[in-house]
Amino acid sequence: MDTAEVRQKVLDIIADVALDDDLSDLDDSVALREQLDLDSMDFLDIVMELKKRHKIEVPQEDYPQLASMQSCVDYLTPKFNQ
């Protein structure tokens, strides 16, 4: 799976968790929490959806690697390709 496909998978999950947020002008290098109205529970929902939909487990110590869209893609692309 390439990075564009991984990005879309993450966007699909965020869209389902953050229903009221506009994702069309998301800056991949800026922290998601700065751009979207995500709280801690929303973030955990995203992590749980990754596990549920794609069987990808993110250990708590790796949560900071999911801060921005770019860091999500960088971290998750190898996991999608295992």
Q: How many residues does the chain have?
A: 82
Predicted TM-score of the model (pTM) = 0.93
**Tell me, what's the pLDDT at 15?**
96
Architecture in CATH of 3-80: Orthogonal Bundle (1.10)
CA 40, chain centre distance (Å): 13
Taking residue 19's Cβ as centre, other Cβ atoms within 10 Å add up to 7
CB 65 within 8 A of CB 75: yes
**Tell me, what's the pLDDT at 37?**
87
**Tell me, what's the pLDDT at 45?**
97
* Ranges of each domain in the chain: 3-80
pLDDT in tens, the chain (82 residues): 999 999 999 999 999 999 889 999 999 999 999 999 899 999 999 999 999 999 999 999 999 999 999 999 999 999 999 8
Single out the residue of 43, 52, 53 nearest to residue 9, CA to CA: 53
Q: Which amino acid is at 44?
A: L
d(Cα 81, Cα 24) in Å, to the nearest integer?
26
